[in-house]
Amino acid sequence: MEEKATIISLKNVCKVFENDQVVVDDFNLDVKEGEFITILGPSGCGKTTTLRMIAGFELPSSGEILLNGSDISLLPPYKRPVNTVFQHYALFPHLDVYDNVAFGLKLKKVPVEVTDKKGNKVIKMKRLSAKVIDEKVLHALQIVDLDEMEDRDVATLSGGQQQRVAIARAIVNEPKVLLLDEPLSALDHKMRKDMQVELKEMHKKLGITFFYVTHDQEEALTMSDRIVVMRRGEIQQVGTPEEIYNEPINAFVADFIGESNIYNGTIEAPERVRFIGSVWKCPMEEGFEINEKVDIVIRPEDVILIEEGKGIANGVIESKIFKGVHYEYIVKVGKNEVLCRDTRNHEIGKVVGIRVEPENLQLMHKDFTINQYADALINNNNEVVIGEDPFPCDVTQLLKGSKLDEEGYLIGPDGKKYDLKNAPVVAEVPLDKVTLSDDLNSGQSQGKIISSVWIGDHWQYIVRTDDEEDFVINSPYTWSIRDLVSVSIAKEDIALRLKKGLEEYVVE
C-alpha cells in the first residue's frame, strides 16, 4: 500500500486552562490524508478540547498544530480547511433543509480574477453564484442521503435526519478534514448503528480525513482506521482497532476497550508469569524483568474450559448467562473471578480446569505501583500537605532515633533540633493504604471517582480532588464513576523523604 501523506500533525500540544488544570498533556499525533481517526476516552479526558484546538476555537498553551506541514496554530477557525460537526449541533429551525446547508455558502466570498476598466487583471472577492451553490448543496445532500428532502422543514425531521443535515452543512464547504465530536450521541441505539455504517460510507465517498471523537468503544472499533485512546489528557495508545483490542498497552485500555479479565501478576522466570495462584506460560516480551509486577489481560473468549485437573488452574462455575451463541460463565479461582465464554452447557457449581494459549496472555507494565506526591510540604503542625490538604504523618521517620518536643521541633538522637516547617518532601502511599468513605467529613481530603478498573479480585480507582491531586486506590468495595468520596490515610502509611538535606532545617 502506498504511504499516504500526513495532513495534520499535533506536536507536543498542551492545553492548560486558567485554573491551572492540564487538560491536554503533551499530545503527539500524525494523521494521514484520507484517514478515519478516532479519539476514544472517558468523559472529561480532553477529547473535545483537542478537537477545538484543531478547529481553531481554542489555542494550545504550548506545542504546534501543523496542516500539510505548516503551523496553523494562529490561523482563525474560518481560515482553516476544516469543518466541525458538534456534539450538540444546532440547525436553524426556521430554515428548510436546503437553506440550512446553503447558509454558509451564501455568505462565502471567493477570490475571482476579473479584468478592470483599464484592462488590468485584478483579484476580486465575489459571492458564489446561485448555480454553484445549488450544485454544491445538492451534492452534499446526496452524500448524506437526503437528496429528496431539500424542501423539508428541519423541525419535521427525525434525529438521524437532522444529524445528516448537520453533516451536510459541514461537508458542503469541501473541507480537507471533517471534525466530528460525538455526532451520534443524541440518537437512539438503532439509529446510532445505522448512522455508524452511513458515516463510514460517507467517509469512503468523500475521501477526506475524518477526525472523530467518542467515548463509545464499540463505535470507535467499528468505524476507525486508527484509534487514539486518551485518559486524563494523555494518549495511552494509538493503533488499529485490532491492535488496540488484541494488544492493549495497559489495564486502562484493556478495560475501556471491552470486557476482559485483568489480574495482578509477577514475572517468575522467562516465559513464566504467576497470577491467580498458578504459574502460566506466556510470551516473553522485551522490556519485562524477572520479579516485575505486571498486569495481565485475558479476553473472555480466550479462556478455555476443560476437565478438572487438566488445565493450569481449577475453578468453580459460579454463574452462567445464556447469550445465544455461547454461555457466559464466571469461574471462581480462589477469590479471583474469571469471565469466560463457552458454547457448552456446564452446571453451576461444577469444578473445571482453565487453560489459556500463551499468546493470548497479554502482559502489561503496571501504570501505578504507588501514589507518589513529589510536591508535598510539611506544615507547622508536622502534617504533610498533599495538594492543599494536610494529612497527619510521622515526621520522626526522617531521622532514625528522633522524636518531637512539645513545641513540635524534631529532636535528633544527638539532641540537635530541626524545624521542618515548609520543608518540601516526597510523600508515598501504597495503593491499598488509601481508604474511601461516603462520609465526606471523615477523611483528610475529598474528591470524585474518575476511573475504575476491576483487577481480578479488587477494584482500582482513581479519585481526583478539587485541587487536582489524584489518589490511586485498590479497594474491594464498589463505587461508581463521579461518586463523591472522602480519602483517608493512616499516619503510619505515609512514607516521607526530604527533598533537601536535613542540615537545612537545623535550629541553632
Ligand X SMILES: Nc1ncnc2c1ncn2[C@@H]1O[C@H](COP(=O)(O)OP(=O)(O)OP(=O)(O)O)[C@@H](O)[C@H]1O
d(CA 472, CA 343): 38
Residue 147 CB, nearest distance to ligand X (Å)? 32
Q: Are 210 and 170 in contact (CB under 8 A)?
A: no
The option from ligand X, Mg ion, none interacting with 21 (CB < 5 to 8 A, set by class) reads ligand X
Residue 49 CB, nearest distance to ligand X (Å)? 3
The option from ligand X, Mg ion, none interacting with 315 (CB < 5 to 8 A, set by class) reads none
- Closest to Mg ion by CB, 27 or 327: 27
- Closest to ligand X by CB, 215 or 458: 215
Strands 226-231 and 36-40, how do they pair? parallel
Helical H segments across 176-303, by residue range: 189-206, 217-223, 241-246, 251-257
The option from ligand X, Mg ion, none interacting with 49 (CB < 5 to 8 A, set by class) reads ligand X
Contact status: 371 vs ligand X (CB under 6 A): no
Q: Are 357 and 302 in contact (CB under 8 A)?
A: yes
- Closest to ligand X by CB, 24 or 105: 24
Residue 481 CB, nearest distance to Mg ion (Å)? 15
**How far from 356 is each of 278, 280, 299, 329, CA to CA, in Å?**
12, 8, 10, 15
Q: Which of residues 67-126 bind Mg ion (CB under 5 A)?
A: none
Residue 42 CB, nearest distance to Mg ion (Å)? 10
Residue 45 CB, nearest distance to ligand X (Å)? 4
d(CA 226, CA 353): 37
Contact status: 48 vs Mg ion (CB under 5 A): yes
Contact status: 217 vs ligand X (CB under 6 A): no
Give backbone dihedrals phi and psi of 419, rounded to 5 degrees, phi first. Answer: -110, 110
Residue 215 CB, nearest distance to Mg ion (Å)? 8
- How many residues bind to Mg ion according to rule CB under 5 A? 1
- Closest to ligand X by CB, 45 or 167: 45
Task: For the chain, give percent helix, strand, coil, nearest 5.
Answer: 20, 40, 35
Query: In 3D, which of 223, 231, 293, 211 has the Cα closest to residue 7?
Result: 211
d(CA 53, CA 126): 30
Quick one: CA dihedral 173, 176, 181, 184, positive or negative?
Answer: positive
d(CA 140, CA 317): 55
Residue 50 CB, nearest distance to ligand X (Å)? 7
Residue 43 CB, nearest distance to Mg ion (Å)? 7
Q: Which of residues 27-56 bind ligand X (CB under 6 A)?
A: 41, 43-49
The option from Mg ion, ligand X, none interacting with 478 (CB < 5 to 8 A, set by class) reads none
Contact status: 50 vs Mg ion (CB under 5 A): no
Q: Select the residue interacting with ligand X from 7, 8, 10, 23 (CB under 6 A).
A: 23
Task: Give the distance from CA 231 to its chain's centroid.
Answer: 3
Contact status: 17 vs ligand X (CB under 6 A): yes
The option from Mg ion, ligand X, none interacting with 38 (CB < 5 to 8 A, set by class) reads none
Q: Which residues contact 355 (CB under 8 A, 6 or more apart)?
A: 303, 304, 306, 310, 311, 312
**How far from 45 is each of 36, 63, 215, 253, 457, CA to CA, in Å?**
20, 18, 10, 13, 27
The option from Mg ion, ligand X, none interacting with 300 (CB < 5 to 8 A, set by class) reads none
Residue 122 CB, nearest distance to ligand X (Å)? 43
**How far from 27 is each of 9, 53, 87, 182, CA to CA, in Å?**
10, 11, 22, 20
- Closest to ligand X by CB, 39 or 361: 39
Residue 17 CB, nearest distance to ligand X (Å)? 3
For residue 496, what is its C-alpha cell? 516521607
The one segment of 40-48, 96-104, 111-119, 204-212 that binds Mg ion by CB under 5 A: 40-48
The one segment of 2-10, 48-56, 381-389, 473-481 that binds Mg ion by CB under 5 A: 48-56
Task: Give the distance from CA 30 to its chain's centroid.
Answer: 18
The one segment of 7-15, 44-52, 58-66, 227-235 that binds Mg ion by CB under 5 A: 44-52
The option from ligand X, Mg ion, none interacting with 192 (CB < 5 to 8 A, set by class) reads none
d(CA 297, CA 178): 35
**How far from 293 is each of 130, 268, 286, 307, 364, CA to CA, in Å?**
67, 10, 15, 30, 9
Q: Applying CB under 5 A, which residues contact Mg ion?
A: 48
Residue ranges binding ligand X (CB under 6 A):
17, 21, 23, 41, 43-49, 215
